[in-house]
Amino acid sequence: MSVSTRGTLLLLGLAGVLAIAGGAFLGWRTSVPETDVVMAAEQTPSPKERTGTDGMTIRLAMSAAFVSESGIGVYSRLAEYLTHKTGVQTEFISGLAYGTINSMLEEGTVHCGFICGLPYVMLRDTPRPAVRLIAAPIMKAARYGGKPRYYSDLIVRQDSPYQSIHDLAGKTYVYNDEISNSGYNLPRYRLLQLGLTKGFFGKVVRSGSHEESIRMVAEGEADASFVDSLVLDYDRQKGFGHAAKVRVLESAGPAGICPIVASNRMPEEIRESLQRALVTMHEDPEGRKILDEALLERFTLVDDSNYDDIRSMREAADKAGFTHIR
């Protein structure tokens, strides 16, 4: 286990207590037994817990990124920036699976997060939506056309003989997560479009992250993977990871980019404060530095319809009975 992972786990150990105390203070409903809420509420908050609006500490999670794991410090600096601009103490959490972050957003133990478009749709399209959109990034690279969109890039090793997706029949395919849009939903729809739904690959394995998928392809442990174009772009431009050892056969998409969402348990005034800070970030010198480091043009307000393409691709796969890549 890495130092950063241990730090994340320690932070998460505190998150449950903070969530209970914050929920009791703000009158939030939680799934925690009432006796536990009373005990937590009676504890004296630390100086850190007393900082920010109404003493809240906002936990900002990341399960889908506009930079790779190599640029994880960008999110910590962004959390510090939001603390400074809003007066609300903001802490950053990473290292958790997509589904775990979704559950925490539903429960209110995480208040907001950078999440993948498919997990957003899953949280939004319920009788009682668990999240609301705050904003979405617009990348600098020309391929994104100044819109809150991105792609899924099909990668193979630089020296591999493969020239098209059809050359991958019977090969080993690696993906990051079953509820990833770029790693699973978009690739599944692409295979559906091509009629490659009856056991096209010889072996399908799960990696747990786009970065690990890139490494596995680069080192010959897998033949191909569809990965988040933002992660690949970042590592290529910065010279990080294994991005230089792979090449792109094709790109699927575009689709709605990973948004920033707020749990419906977050007070509206705080959500609006975070939103203002993000969408004006490009106008602030300090904010501009963080955006430039992340290869970001700016954050923008975004409508739920930006994710309709993700919905339609998922529905098409479900209708065809092609729920699992194979």
- Over residues 224-233, the pLDDT tens digits come to 999 999 999 9
Count of CB atoms situated within 10 Å of the CB of 320: 12
Mean pLDDT over residues 107-125, rounded? 94
Which residues sit opposite 138 in a β-bridge?
A: 298
Check: CB of residue 12 under 8 Å from CB of residue 5.
Answer: no
pLDDT over 70 percentage in the chain: 83
Q: How crowded is residue 76: how many other Cβ atoms within 10 Å of its Cβ?
A: 14
Among the ranges given (60-74, 98-112, 152-166, 294-308), the one the predictor scored with the smallest mean pLDDT = 60-74
Q: Cβ contacts of residue 252 below 8 Å, gap of 6+?
A: 151, 152, 154, 186, 187, 189, 190, 226
pLDDT, average across residues 116-120: 95
Instruction: Summarize the confidence of residues 194-198 as an average pLDDT.
Output: 95
- Give the residue-averaged pLDDT of 189-217: 96
Domains, the chain, in order of start with CATH, read 58-141+257-304 (3.40.190.10), 149-255+315-320 (3.40.190.10)
Among 307, 297, 310, 312, smallest CA distance to 145 is for 297
Residue 243 CA to residue 265 CA, distance in Å, equals 39
| pLDDT mean over 11-25 | 35
Tens digit of each residue's pLDDT (9 = 90 or more) over 280-310: 999 999 999 999 999 999 999 999 999 999 9
pLDDT of 19 > 70? The answer is: no
**Residue 72 pLDDT exceeds 90:** no
Over residues 6-33, the mean pLDDT reads 34
Cis (ω within 30 of 0) for the bond into 254?
yes
Tell me how far the alpha carbon of residue 16 is from its chain's centroid.
Answer: 21
Q: Which residues pair with 153 in a beta bridge?
A: 227, 251
Phi (first) and psi of residue 246, to 5 degrees: -125, 160
pLDDT band at residue 197 under the 50/70/90 scheme: very high
The predicted pLDDT at position 237 comes to: 93
Q: Is the pLDDT of residue 81 over 60?
A: yes
Report the pLDDT value the prediction gives residue 155, as an integer from 0 to 100: 98
- AA letter at 286: E
Q: Answer with the residue of higher pLDDT: 304 or 12.
A: 304
- Which structure tokens are listed for 161? 């003989």
Q: For residue range 234-249, list pLDDT tens digits in order.
A: 999 999 989 999 999 9
At 55 the pLDDT is 66
Average of per-residue pLDDT across 242-270? 95
User: Distance (Å, rounded) from C-alpha 91 to C-alpha 83?
Assistant: 9
Give SS3 for 254.
Answer: strand
Q: Which two tokens stand for residue 219?
A: 């080192």
Query: pLDDT confidence of 63, banded at 50, 70, 90?
Result: confident
pLDDT-derived band of residue 73, with 50, 70 and 90 as boundaries? confident
pTM score, whole prediction:
0.81
Contacts of 218 (CB under 8 A, 6+ apart): 157, 242, 245, 246
Q: Given a cut of 90, is residue 166 above it in pLDDT?
A: yes
Q: Give the mean pLDDT of the chain.
A: 84
Q: What is the DSSP secondary structure assignment for residue 264, as one 8-state letter?
A: T
Confidence check: pLDDT of 32 > 50: no
- Residue 54: band (very low, low, confident or very high) from pLDDT cuts 50, 70, 90: low
